[in-house]
Structure 1
Amino acid sequence: MPKEHQEAAVPEGPHIPTSATTTIINMPGEVSLPDHVVWSMFNTLFMNFCCLGFIAYAYSVKSRDRKMVGDVTGAKAYASTAKCLNISAVVLSILMAIVIIIVYAIVLSRMIANSRAF
């Protein structure tokens, strides 16, 4: 700026400070909700008892989609359903494996007992 334009404006009356109002806006950060996609994929591939793992995977993907849109309530609901389905798939698959092992052991022991009888 040229020197002739650098004049300071002097207030003519006394300067009265006014109170400034402030506005605080809380911006939500990254939403960190577990969507259980990895767990659901594992159950889909290895512990898919009555397709519970696949259904849990579908709910996990829905939860991730809701989280990306910003619908926290919907994401929590889908994640909760996916978690329950994953727990059910794991428990029922483990119980089924235990039952199969017990039945196999009983059948094998009876076959061995019958072969010794002859």
Structure 2
Amino acid sequence: MNPQGYTSASAPLQGVPYGQPQGPGMVQHTTVNIIAEPPKDHIIWSIFSFVYMNPCCLGLAALIHSVKARDRKMVGDLQGAQHYGSTARCLNIAATILIFLIVLIVIIASSILSVLTRISFGR
């Protein structure tokens, strides 16, 4: 009789390391399901770009793509949502850089004009 009280039919496997194949040609596979983070739609940045910095209607185009990305995400099409979200991100970056350059040029031009008017009226 088995000292632990097990019969031969219900005895645990002994001598086989945990996780190792039990016979020739047997392979164990482990599947890990990773829940991917849903793609970002950048809706807040797009609204900001549309309201405050809309050069060449880039803010409007970014807002449209953000809404499409949000709709695709709600339907479950994560690949389509990622595509529209990345397009909205690129349009938002372009609008931000363009408005930054415009503001920088206006500041430089106004400071140069201020200096030139002081010089011309100072004489």
User: What TM-score, normalized by structure 1, do the two folds share?
Assistant: 0.71
Aligned to 1:78: 84
Q: Secondary structure at the match of 1:33?
A: coil
Deviations 1:82-103 (A, max 9, x none): 0000011111111110000001
Match of 1:35 among 26, 37, 41: 41
| 8 Å Cα contact 2:69/2:82 also seen in 1 | yes
More helix by share: 1
The 1-side partners of 2:117 and 2:73 are apart by: 56
Q: Secondary structure at the match of 1:34?
A: coil
Aligned to 1:61: 67
The yes-or-no answer on 1:102 pairing with 2:108 is yes
Identity of aligned residues (%): 43
**Structure 1's 102 and 95: CA in aligned 2 closer, same or farther, altered over 3 A?**
same
Deviations 1:43-99 (A, max 9, x none): 111111211111100000000111111111111100000000001111111111000
Q: Secondary structure at the match of 1:35?
A: coil
| 8 Å Cα contact 1:35/1:60 also seen in 2 | yes
Runs of 4+ in 1 over 3 A off after TM superposition: 27-31
| 8 Å Cα contact 2:38/2:78 also seen in 1 | no
The 2-side partners of 1:28 and 1:67 are apart by: 18
| 8 Å Cα contact 1:36/1:60 also seen in 2 | yes
Aligned to 1:115: 121
**Structure 1's 84 and 72: CA in aligned 2 closer, same or farther, altered over 3 A?**
same
What count of residue pairs does the alignment treat as equivalent?
92
Aligned to 2:21: none
Unpaired runs of at least 5, structure 1:
1-26
